[in-house]
Amino acid sequence: MSYQNYVVAAYAVFAIVLAWDFVAPRLQIRRELRAARLRVARDNSRNGSTELTR
Amino acid sequence: MMWPAARALMARDLRLLWRRRGDALQPALFALLVVVLFALALGGEAQALAKVASAVLWLAVLLAGLLSLDTLFRGDAEDGSLEQWMLAPVPLSWLVLVRTFMHWATTALPLLVATPFLAELLHLPHGQLPVLLAGLALGTPLLSLLGAVVAALTVGMRRSGILVALLALPLYVPVLVFGAGSVSAAAQGLDPVGALLLLGAGLAVALVLAPLAAAAAIRIALS
Amino acid sequence: MNPVVRWFHQLGSPPYFDRFAQRWTPWAYGLAVLVMAYGLYGALFMVPADYQQGDSFRILYIHVPSAWMSMAIFALMAIYAAIALVWRIKLCEILAMACAPIGAAFTLVTLVTGSIWGKPMWGTWWDWDPRLTTELILLFLYLGVIGLYNAIDDRRAAARAAGLLAIVGVALLPVIHYSVTWWNSLHQGQTISLFGKSHMDPSMLPPLFAMIVATKLWFIGSLLARARADNLRREAGKDWVRKLAGAMQ
């Protein structure tokens, strides 16, 4: 019986899950920094804002 | 201070329950419905039902208890009483314990009373009934206590229905296993006492630790 | 102040932690990949096929390290959660919650690779064996922690509630395992132990050790990355985040 397909499948699952685990936080960080950039841009465009900025 | 507080809380709960007497029957009705649905799905034939009767009964009681968890703290969370609990001069875990006991007495006890009747519907062999009732008598308070921790964790949330079930069911597994397993063991001629004693031990531990965990969870949720 | 103690205190500062995580994440991942490369190569090509199980046993080199990580991460998550609850340390809240998705991922790998391994070996994709069943319940516990953390709006309260759940879970996990083992012994016919008594020849061990080390290194990298992301999310309105985002224009 050829076990090759099973071994390939198992290693593929491992690779896919780890790839997801690598990519997901990177996307999240990118999203957070982009949101912060947009917030900075919005505050700068608001001329003479008297609001307290945190 | 602790016993007068307990009496006051129990009296209040009973009074509130009396005003909505109909609600007290709902867990029992739900368990009956589950039994009916299982019987219909399995084909209604006495032999087949008898084999799975104890498991189905355990599941019916467990699921009915799960659904009724919502009423454990929600009423008091919504009208601000829970915050008064936190400020009370008695330990929060004591109030949680009293409330959980009242909840068990009003939702699970009717289920226990209904069990022999439901068992007949599923053709449970009569010899298994005492073990089943003993397991439920030990297991349902344990489920209430574990459920109290989960209910406390989610007390702040509005639409927590399925999440409560997802959180509670893994914690319920040992109770279900030992409870249904004790009847299964008895059916096979083995001694069910070991499993029942383990349920008892779990109940003893939970009586002390679960209110503490639930109190911590309430403090987190209302912080 | 003792430099080690000072370093711990500094880590608690969000911008310092951000810089720390940003610096060390690539090293952790890089080292993990290197060690994993050796481990995988060894598992696939160097180690001889097993006498009984043939090539399918190479799945062990993925399955066993993942299983150990799934348990170890749960314990670590509970420890971080306990520290966070007792001492109210924000960083430990973040670390505890960052552990959950990584642990869930390893648990999923364990279950799926175990299932794939089981099919040619024991003819079935699934069996209600105690270890498999407990691992499945462990996955539910992880998902519960993640779900609870995401369900509450206030990040700090959410982390503390989910942390409390993790602690309750870790306390109950041995009980769950014991109960399923007992249940298994009741029901005859479960005579196949999925992890048979096959002793490993010493020549088969080095890649396994390598994979165990590699998965730990990978976990550290992932933990730092996810903690950094959560840290940024929590501190979203703060000046240091704005400066950081602005600097990356």
Given this model, what pLDDT does residue C196 score? 52
Lowest-confidence segment of A10-24, B35-49, B155-169, B172-186 by average pLDDT: B155-169
Contact C229 A40 (CB under 8 A): no
**Helix/strand/coil (H, E, C) string of B31-75?**
HHHHHHHHHHHHCCCHHHHHHHHHHHHHHHHHHHHHHHCHHHHHH
Given this model, what pLDDT does residue A31 score? 94
Given this model, what pLDDT does residue A47 score? 62
Nearest CA in chain C to B152: C161
Contact C85 B216 (CB under 8 A): yes
> Mean pLDDT in each 10-residue stretch from start to end of chain C (249 residues)?
90 94 96 96 84 81 95 97 95 97 97 92 86 93 96 93 96 91 74 53 87 97 97 92 80
Is the model more confident about B216 or about A50?
B216
DSSP reduced 3-state for C224: helix
Average pLDDT over residues B46-74: 93
Chain B / chain C CB contacts < 8 angstroms: 76
Tokens 């279950």 label which residue? C111
Given this model, what pLDDT does residue A51 score? 65
Q: Does C59 touch chain A (CB under 8 A)?
A: yes
pTM of the model: 0.91
Is the model more confident about B24 or about B220?
B220
Given this model, what pLDDT does residue B209 score? 97
Residues of B in contact with C85 (CB under 8 A): 216
Amino acid, single-letter form, for residue C9: H
Tokens 């779900």 label which residue? C147
Residues of B in contact with C140 (CB under 8 A): 166, 169-170
Distance CA B168, CA B69 (A): 10
**In the numeric block, which tokens belong to residue B6?**
């307990």
How confident is residue B24, by pLDDT bands cut at 50, 70 and 90? confident
Is the model more confident about B25 or about B206?
B206
DSSP reduced 3-state for C54: strand
Contact A18 C112 (CB under 8 A): no
Chain A / chain C CB contacts < 8 angstroms: 99
Given this model, what pLDDT does residue C99 score? 97
Given this model, what pLDDT does residue C191 score? 45
Distance CA C80, CA C96 (A): 5
Q: Does C29 touch chain A (CB under 8 A)?
A: yes
Given this model, what pLDDT does residue B17 score? 87
Of the candidates B166, B178, B217, the beta carbon closest to that of C140 is on: B166
Nearest CA in chain C to B150: C165
Q: What is the CA radius of gyration of chain B?
A: 18
Phi, then psi, of C50 in degrees rounded to 5: -70, 145
Q: Does C248 touch chain A (CB under 8 A)?
A: yes
Q: Do chains A and B touch (3 or more CB pairs under 8 A)?
A: no
- Mutation pick from A1, A13, A45 vs chain C, by most beta carbons of C within 10 Å, is A13
Q: Does C196 touch chain A (CB under 8 A)?
A: no
Q: Where are the domains of chain A?
A: 1-40
Q: Does A16 touch chain C (CB under 8 A)?
A: no
What pLDDT digit, counting tens, does each position of B114-164 carry?
A: 999 999 999 999 999 999 999 999 999 999 999 999 999 999 787 777 899
pLDDT surpasses 80 at A6? yes
Contact B99, B9 (CB under 8 A): yes
- Mutation pick from B52, B66, B155, B167 vs chain C, by most beta carbons of C within 10 Å, is B167
Given this model, what pLDDT does residue C190 score? 45
The terminus-to-terminus CA distance of chain C in angstroms comes to 38
Distance CA C111, CA C168 (A): 23
- In which region does residue B123 sit, left (phi positive, over 0), alpha (psi from -120 to 50) or beta (all else)? left
Minimal Cα–Cα distance from A53 to chain C, Å? 9
Q: Does C107 touch chain A (CB under 8 A)?
A: no
Percent of chain A surpassing pLDDT 90? 59
Of B145, B140, B144, B134, the closest CA to residue B185 belongs to B134
